[in-house]
Structure 1
């Protein structure tokens, strides 16, 4: 990145002539645009590496909202624009090209600002998906070149002309709506390892589902430390869905589980298990990072298959319960719910987390265990928060430096205040 400097302000601005005023405005305008483009490159890099692995947040937008003091609604468009203007990388390291590279180049020079960028991206979003890559790239470059010197009306008119050329027939007529089924759910695994869940519920089942999700997706209250749940409603409902599945699996009458919270088969290299770096095969159908495997192994039934560097099984472990029912009852009494500061989740919605992981030799006893809900369990494993056991035998949490430079220990006083 080239070194840039802010223009000097006259000591008495009211004495500046009209040319000096105009020159100062243009200089600062260009600097603002260049700074915004530079911020976008940083956000695109965070997106490439993964906000979960870097900071423990579910998305780059959620992390940026917390760091910048913005709402999620304010942060999301900034991150989306950064990803559109800059190349990123997929989980396997392959490069994902920018949607609007020419626009990104013009923004990096300070030639165009926020309004023209947004206008160009909106026009590109209207281009049909069956248009060739070459035509799409040509259209984007034409818009970016014009936006350097033109105003919104010229860009809008060019956009209309390009769309008329690329899609002369307009949108295809929609097929008639199919007959609505009563209940329908589909679950499909995508190539990137995520799963897509779609469904159509009748009124009665939809109301029951909504009531259950709302009950478990309610954000916790803000405590005296000022922490707030920055997850979107969709993210909170996703975590609520995970909690409902945990409760269903833990039911003694659930087929195939015998009442255990989780049963997973994990195939992982010995070094990956110890370091948390790399990937693991889960239940022979998908992959997760080694760090996620370490988190899943905190409170589950696990059948580990540890491999050496040559891919040969070193050990096929016995089915083992890492936290006994008696220890779980003692944890429930001590922590009374998720121990993370300000979290209101009750014990039945929590996992038993090993402070020093059992793969690193940490013991499975109460001095090394703490109750955490799914959201805060991931935050501890993937983020910069730390948990330790205080002298009085209760857990306390150390925030990252970017949230509290003094890193003062915090506790959850909510459960004990309402007990």
Structure 2
């Protein structure tokens, strides 16, 4: 390796002219690049002999990091570049040729630095594996010679031309691996019995969620009694979420529910369940009124636990299903949707309500069942409305006296228009 002579440094740089400053920068830059190339030759020789045998280090990069006071992350690329530019020897003593010998020769002249070297090495990695040795060597020489005068943009243009020449058909097309969207949902129960739902959705899922909620959160039209929907938007969105959840649970392919609306573990005294007065324990974590338990029992799977007056379990009932899929299909055909007067909800948004509750001895048959949406289901259970089956087998509703003093029976005619 030829000896490198450092240029003289003027004692007073402020006296130097612009040409002298430029020449000084170029000279020192060349010295640095030549020195870097020489350093690479030494590192390649250490790699060939084995850093462990020479110095007791597990790798050349580890040894060089200590010698140069660098981190492993800083030393690694320098050693890797040295091995790519210079021939080394395998364990059996055979020579391992350099990946880019032409680039190494140009680097030894001091005309290209580490960034252009890395750019050339990255281009060489893209050359197809089945390219002949002659074509690969020719491509590398073109890049090395071009790097003498060219910058990064010209090398990038040359890369495109070379790859088009070496591999005109390009890589086999394949679908890019889709990026995993970021979606987060947190559900926690508060001390007051309410559940707090928070989440973070990616743009696509957020748009789908907003569209689904908006579709079910539209204000109810003014009914025939002149009552308007007075819910705030946040309340309408909450009710829409409940409806979407009901739809998902009712799906036949839903894991764990098999199309049943829900599975409720209700711990309640038998008298409370019959009268609707009192409290019930819901799924061992929350509480609900006995009236709400009666409503939940209309169209779900229920596991009743009967307690005595002292609160001791007397009997754990068998899992009971109240409305069969066949009965549900028959209800859909008969009622066409929510049977409450003036309601437009379709069958998929409805629950099957027991007119005469099963806890009071009411049977689970079509003459005792009616389809109701969530809102009107609650209205029947908690309000003064009444429902009965007419002589023609269709449900009729009797309004409270404050709405109609004569309490004349009414039907939903929207579904049969």
Instruction: Give the TM interval when normalised to the shorter protein.
Output: 0.5 to 0.7
1:276 is aligned to 2:276: yes
Contact 2:268 2:280 in 1 (8 A): yes
Q: Could you tell me which residue of structure 1 aligns to residue 230 of structure 2?
A: 230
Contact 1:327 1:366 in 2 (8 A): yes
1:322 is aligned to 2:334: no
| Cα deviation digits, residues 364-410 of structure 1 (max 9, x gap) | 11111110011111111011111111222211112222222232222
Mark the structure with the bigger radius of gyration: 2
1:289 is aligned to 2:284: no
Residues 276 and 384 of structure 1: CA distance in aligned 2, closer, same or farther (over 3 Å): same
How does 1:40-189 map onto structure 2 within 5 Å? 182-189=182-189
1:203 is aligned to 2:203: yes
Gaps of 5+ in 2: 1-180
Q: Whole-Å Cα distance in 2 between the matches of residues 341 and 331 of structure 1?
A: 16
SS in 2 for 1:185: strand
Q: Whole-Å Cα distance in 2 between the matches of residues 188 and 209 of structure 1?
A: 20
How does 1:309-348 map onto structure 2 within 5 Å? 309-348=309-348
TM-fit CA distance, 1:196: 1.6
Gaps of 5+ in 1: 1-180
Q: Could you tell me which residue of structure 2 aligns to residue 371 of structure 1?
A: 371
Q: Whole-Å Cα distance in 2 between the matches of residues 259 and 372 of structure 1?
A: 18
TM-fit CA distance, 1:341: 1.2
TM-fit CA distance, 1:192: 2.0
| Cα deviation digits, residues 307-336 of structure 1 (max 9, x gap) | 111112222111111111111111111110
Q: Could you tell me which residue of structure 1 aligns to residue 71 of structure 2?
A: none
Q: Could you tell me which residue of structure 1 aligns to residue 24 of structure 2?
A: none
Q: Whole-Å Cα distance in 2 between the matches of residues 244 and 255 of structure 1?
A: 16
TM-score, normalised relative to structure 2: 0.54
Q: Whole-Å Cα distance in 2 between the matches of residues 227 and 365 of structure 1?
A: 32
Q: Could you tell me which residue of structure 2 aligns to residue 132 of structure 1?
A: none
| Cα deviation digits, residues 315-361 of structure 1 (max 9, x gap) | 21111111111111111111100111111111111110001100000
Q: Whole-Å Cα distance in 2 between the matches of residues 370 and 263 of structure 1?
A: 20
Residues 230 and 407 of structure 1: CA distance in aligned 2, closer, same or farther (over 3 Å): farther
SS in 2 for 1:297: helix
Q: Whole-Å Cα distance in 1 between the matches of residues 304 and 351 of structure 2?
A: 19
Calculate the aligned-residue CA RMSD, in Å: 1.7
Q: Whole-Å Cα distance in 1 between the matches of residues 194 and 395 of structure 2?
A: 33
SS in 1 for 2:268: strand
Q: Could you tell me which residue of structure 2 aligns to residue 266 of structure 1?
A: 266
1:357 is aligned to 2:357: yes
Residues 274 and 223 of structure 1: CA distance in aligned 2, closer, same or farther (over 3 Å): closer
Contact 1:385 1:398 in 2 (8 A): yes
Contact 1:227 1:342 in 2 (8 A): no
Contact 2:225 2:403 in 1 (8 A): no
SS in 2 for 1:274: helix
Residues 408 and 234 of structure 1: CA distance in aligned 2, closer, same or farther (over 3 Å): farther
Q: Whole-Å Cα distance in 1 between the matches of residues 335 and 407 of structure 2?
A: 22
TM-fit CA distance, 1:224: 4.1
| Cα deviation digits, residues 268-305 of structure 1 (max 9, x gap) | 11111111111111111111111000000000011111
Contact 2:340 2:372 in 1 (8 A): yes
Contact 1:220 1:342 in 2 (8 A): no
| Cα deviation digits, residues 145-194 of structure 1 (max 9, x gap) | xxxxxxxxxxxxxxxxxxxxxxxxxxxxxxxxxxxx94332222122211
Q: Whole-Å Cα distance in 2 between the matches of residues 335 and 341 of structure 1?
A: 12
Q: Whole-Å Cα distance in 1 between the matches of residues 384 and 258 of structure 2?
A: 36
Q: Could you tell me which residue of structure 2 aligns to residue 216 of structure 1?
A: 216
Residues 342 and 228 of structure 1: CA distance in aligned 2, closer, same or farther (over 3 Å): farther
Q: Whole-Å Cα distance in 2 between the matches of residues 388 and 205 of structure 1?
A: 43
Q: Whole-Å Cα distance in 1 between the matches of residues 406 and 227 of structure 2?
A: 16
